[in-house]
Amino acid sequence: MSSVNCRFLYLAVTYIGGVIIFTKQVNLPLNYYTESSVPTSLSDDWMETRNSWNDANAIRGVTSFLPFLFCVLSPGDENLQSKRDSGSVLNVSF
């Protein structure tokens, strides 16, 4: 497996783990708990729950943004330019 494929695999695992699994395991239970609260009579642990919810959303935001950023900034396949030059890659422009 090339280093480029390993990089993208790592980024995909980071995204899936950090966004999908983390959301299901952390964010959704916090969402359900906060949605069940009555605004006029908040529970004693409301501030702690809200802070946990904010922290969880910050973590989810970072773990979704960083893989996207690294994919955008990634130089890609080092051999792609040589493949284009040799004609083995179809170069299409609109």
Per-residue pLDDT tens for 34-88?
898 888 888 899 999 999 999 999 999 998 898 888 877 876 555 555 555 555 5
**Distance between CA 2 and CA 92 in Å, rounded?**
25
Determine contact, residues 43/65, Cβ cutoff 8 Å: no
Residue 52, phi-psi category: left (phi > 0), alpha (psi -120 to 50), beta (remainder): alpha
On the question of pLDDT at 7 being above 60, the answer is yes
For the chain, how big is the Rg over CA atoms in Å?
21
The whole-number pLDDT of residue 28 equals 94
**Domain range annotation of the chain:** 3-66
